[in-house]
Structure 1
Amino acid sequence: MRLGDMMTTNVPLLKEEDTLAHAVKLLRQTKLDGIPVVDDAGALIGIFTKANLMDAFLAGARPEETITPYYQRRVLTARVDTPYEMVEEAVKTSPVGTGVVVDDRDNVVGIFTKVDMIMSLFKRTERLANQLTTVYHSMHNGVIVVSRDYRVELMNQSAAGILRLDGAAVTGRLFPEVFPGLDLAPVIEASQWRIGVKASWYGVTVMCNVSPVTAGGQVVGAIIIFQPLTELDRIASELETTKELYETLLTVLNIAYEAIVLINEEGRITLVNEAACRFFRKREEELLNKPIEEVMPHSRLLRTLKTGMAETNEVQVIEGQPCIVSRSPIVRKGKVIGVVGKITYQKLEEVRELSEKLAEMDRELSYYRSKAEEARQLVTFRHIVTVNKEMQRIKEEAERVARGHSTVLLTGESGTGKELFAEAMHNASPRRHKPFIQLNCAAIPDNLAESELFGYAPGAFTGAQREGKPGKFALANGGTLFLDEIGDMPLNLQSKLLRFLEDQTFTPVGSTRTVKVDVRIIAATNQDLWRKVEAGEFRRDLYYRL
C-alpha cells in the first residue's frame, strides 16, 4: 500500500488572487482543514487552512480581500508513491494534521490527513484479519487460540473436524473445561514453549505444540497446534506385528526336528531350539551365551562367520554321531553379524535322499533366479557403490528406513542418485514384490496432473478414454509411488496429496466413489523446500508430513 491509495483526491485549488470569501466556500464544500495554493503554472506555493481563515478575520480582514497575506508558505508535502511504512512513521512524528500529496513534477494530486491514515489502518487491519482467518481455516492441523485469561478465542475448521466439536459453541469457554489435561500455565505465565505434548480429547489422541502469543513484549495468550496420532499408531502396529512374527519364529524353530544353533559376531550362542538342547543333552540356559567352541569343538560356524560363505548339506561327525550340517551367514548392512547352523541327526537316511534332491533343486533354482535377476535388473543397495563416509552413512540410514512404511523425502542436487536410492529402498522393503511406480511432477502439465495422479472415471472430460484410466496411486497399490521433483507440484494438487497421506484414500477425477489403497510415498526434490514454504509456494503442513 502506498500514499496514493490512502489520500483524498479531487481536491480544489486556490490561487493568490482568490478572495477569503471564495476560500470559505471551498472549505465548507470539501470539509477539509486546508486547501492547497498554486501559482499560475499550477505549482504548489502554500496552503490555506481554517486556522489561517480565523486569523484573517480576527485581524479585521474583509471577505472580498485576497488570501495572499494569510496563507502558509511552508507546506508539508509527500510523494504519491511513498510506501505505507514511511507514511505511518511521518504521521506519528509530525505535529501537522494535513499534508499535500504531489507527483514527480510537484503537481498537486491530493490531500492526506490523519483521518485518512486511520481509515487506511482500519482497511489494512480488516484485510490482514481476513487473510489470517483464511490461513488458519485452510490448515490441515488443528489450531486453537487461547486468551490471557484462558478462554478459547479461535478454533479452526480442522480442529473442529478432528475433535468433532462445534467451534462456535466452544469459543469463549474456559480452555481447561473444554480441553482438560493440557496445562497452559507454563506457556501463558512463564512464556515457555511446549513441544510434542500428548493429549486425549473426545476419544482422539493428539500430539500438541504450544507456543505463547506476545504483544508489546507481554504474553497475551497461547496457540495450540495439534494433529491426531494416526502415524504413530501405525508405527506401534508395525512393532506389534514384529513381536508377533518373532514369537511365531520361535514356535516354528521349536517344532522343527533339526537342531538350530545361532551365534553372534563374537562366536557366542544366542539362540537354540528344543531339538538342539536334546542333541547336546543340555538345558537352554546352559547353552546360551557360551562360546560355540566350548559346545562344539572344531565347529565350522566360526569359519562361516569369518568368510561369510554359506555351506549346505555337509556330512559331519558331531558327538560321535554322523549328521548333515548346513551353515548360513547372517548379514546386516553388508557385514556378517552372525551365523545360523542347522544339524540334521534324526532319520538320517531319509534326509540324505531328500537332501540330494533338494540340493539339485537348489542348483536349478539358483540358475533360474540368477537369470531372472539379470532380466529384471533390479536396483538394490549393492548397486550403490561408494567410499565416501557420509554417503555410506546415508546409505545405511536408507536401508533402515526401507524396512518401514513411513513416508520418505530425499533431497539433493540433480544427478546425486535420488532415483537410485528410491528404487533401492523399495527393493529392500516388505513391498519389494509389489509395483514401484515413478512420477516426475515437473514433467506433467498442470491441467493433467490430477488425472495422472488419481486417474479418472469413464467420460470424465472431453478426450478421456471411454473406459476411464487408473492413476499412479491405483497402479502402485500395495507398493511404492516415487514422486520426483515434488517441489514443482502445483499448490492445488499439494492439498489433495496431503489428504491422501492422512487416510490413504482418493477420488478419481469425475467420480463420486472414494478409493482406498495401500501405497508408500517416497518423494524427492533438488530444491530448498523450506524456502518455498516461506515464499508461500509449498504447503507447510505437506512439508512436515513428508
Structure 2
Amino acid sequence: MVDGRKEYAAADYEKVKNIEPVHKWMTANPFSLLTSHTLKEAVHLLDLHHIDGLPVISFEQQVIGLITKSRLMKLFVEGKPPETRVGEVMNASVVTIGPDDTIEKAYKIPVGRLPVVDEQGRLIGMLTRTDILHSYFYISGQLQETIHTAETLNVILESAYEGIAVIDKDGIIHEFNNAYCRFIGRRREEVIGKHVTEVIDNTRLHIVSVTGVEERGYIQRIQGQDMVVHRIPIRKEGEVIGAIGMLIFEGVTELYNILGRMQELSRKVTESTLLTQDNLKDNRYFEKIIGNSDAILSVKKMAGKAAKTPSTVLITGESGTGKELFAEAIHHRSPYAEGPFVSVNCAAIPEHLLEAELFGYEEGAFTGARKGGKQGKFELAHKGTLFLDEIGDMTLPMQAKILRVLQDRTVERVGGIKSQQVDVRIVAATNVMLEEMVRKGTFREDLYYRLNIIRLNLPPLRERKEDIPLLLSHHLRFFSEDFSLPQKFLSVNAMAALKEYKWPGNVRELINTVEMLVSLAEGQEISEHDLPGHILGKSHFSSHKPAFEPFSAPKQNVLEEVKDKMLSSEKEAIIQALREVNGNKAAAARKLGIQRSTLYEKLKKHGLIGNVSV
C-alpha cells in the first residue's frame, strides 16, 4: 500500500508543469567540506546542523564530491578510522544542477541531495528532495487557487464595503464596483471604458499606473468630501500593467474614530507587547534598506542569516550602495546587539594615526599623547561590532596587525606592554576587488581568508531599477517633511528619466539628487525640466535645458532665469499637447498628467485661451 501511494503521488507530480527556478527553493551558501577534513569533522557538522549530507569542494569552491550519513555509517562498519580524510573516501560521482534550471528538471534526477553550482562549477546552494516537494505543494496550491480566481474576484469587488476602481496602464477603467458607483452616483456601464480622470475627481490613479509607486493613505477630495484612498500599482512579470484605487473610509471623520479606538486598544496591550517592541527595533534597521527587487531581497535574506552568527562578514559593492547600513542592520540583529556599534573608515584616517585609532595608546606613547592614554576602536567595540569600512585601503603593515587581532582576539595599545582580551564581531567592507589585490600582493592572502567567511555583495542601483521609484518616493516624502514643505511628487516624464539614468553614485547619489530637487523645484510637481543636465543627457527624455544645473557657474538673477525658463517650457508643452490632440482640452490634460481645471488655469496664465492654432 505504501508503494502504491508513492507511485500515485509521483504520477500526479509528473502531470504538473513546475517551472519554478531552483534558486528560489535551494538553501543558499550551504555548509561544505574540504578534502582535507576528517570523517570525525564531517560527523560533527552533520550532527550539529541536522543534515544528512555535505558537498565536498575544492579551494576554488568547485564541487568535487559528496559525503552522506549513510556513506559514513558504511565506512565505519568497514573499519575506517575517524581521522580518515574525506577526500580519500568521498563519492566523487556527483550530479549537480544550475540555479536557473527548473524544479521539474531537478525532480526527474533520482538523487536525494543536489548541489547547485554556477557557470564555473562553484557551489552556491543545495537542493533536497524535501525542497522539491515543498515547491510542488506550493504549485499545487497555486493551481487550485487559480480555478476559483475569477469568481472570487467578482464576489470581492461587488461585496466590498470600500469603493474599488481598476484601470489599465493607459488609465482606462476596467472594473468599478457597486460601492464606488453609489458614491459618485453613476452606473457601472457608464464608466467602464472611460479614462479615470473623466470619472473620479482629483485622481492620480493614472499616474500611479505609469510610475509604479504606490500611494497609501492619501487624502483626496471626491464629490466635495475629503476621502482617504489607496492607489496601488498592478504588476505582471515585473512590469506595471495598471492600478487599483480604493476608498478605504467613508470620509476622514470615520478615520478619526478608528484612530481613537486603536489608541484605546494600544493602552490595553502595552505591557504584553514589550518583547514585540524589541523585535521591531531589530527589524527597523533592515527596513531602512529599501527595495523589493530580487537582487536586494536576496542580499537582505543572507544578511539576516549572517546576523545570527558571530562569524566575520565581508561586504563588497560599489561606493554608495549602502554597506554601512547593512553592517548596522547585521549588528542590531546579532548576538552582539546589546553592545556598541563602532564604525571606522580606514581610508579617511592617515596611515600614521590609524594604528593609534584602532588599538589606542598609552600615556607618553608619542608627543601630544593624551594624559592617561586613550582606548582604541577595538576596545570601544568590546562585546559589540566593529565596522571596518574601506579595508582595501589599509597598508600591508596595518593588515598584519589586524590579522593578529583576528587570530588572537587580543589588542596591545601603542606604547603599551600588556595585551587586552577583546570580544568583537568584525564586519568589513570595501569597494575594490580584494582578490585582484591579493594577486598583486597589495592585500594579505591570510587576512583575505580571515575576512571572507560570509560574503555579501551589494548590487549597484542600475541592476535593481525596479527599486528606483520606491527609493525616490521614500526620500521625496522624507525631505518634504524634514524641510516643512508640501509633499512633492515627480511627473511621469521625470520619473521615467530618473529610472533610465545609470546612477554611478548609487543610492547615495539618488538621495542627494532628491534633496536638491525638493529644495529647488517650484510647486509640488517636479518635472523633467527640474532635473540636472547630466541626468537628462543620459536618458534622452528631453531636449530642453534643465532648470537647475547644480555644477554651473554662478549667474546674476539666476532665480529669474530659472523661473522664465520653466514658464517658457510649460507654455511650449501645453501648446504641443493641444496640437497633438487637435485642441481637445480633456485629452490634452490627460496627456500632460494634470486636471482639466488645472489646464484651464495654465491656459489663462499664459494667455493661450482661444489663441492656440491647431
> Aligning the two structures, in what range does the TM-score lie when normalised by the shorter sequence?
0.3 to 0.5
Higher share of residues assigned helix: 2
Of structures 1 and 2, the one scoring higher in RCO (CA 8 A, sep 6+) is 2
Higher share of residues assigned strand: 1
Q: Higher Cα Rg: structure 1 or 2?
A: 1
With normalisation by structure 2, the TM-score equals 0.30
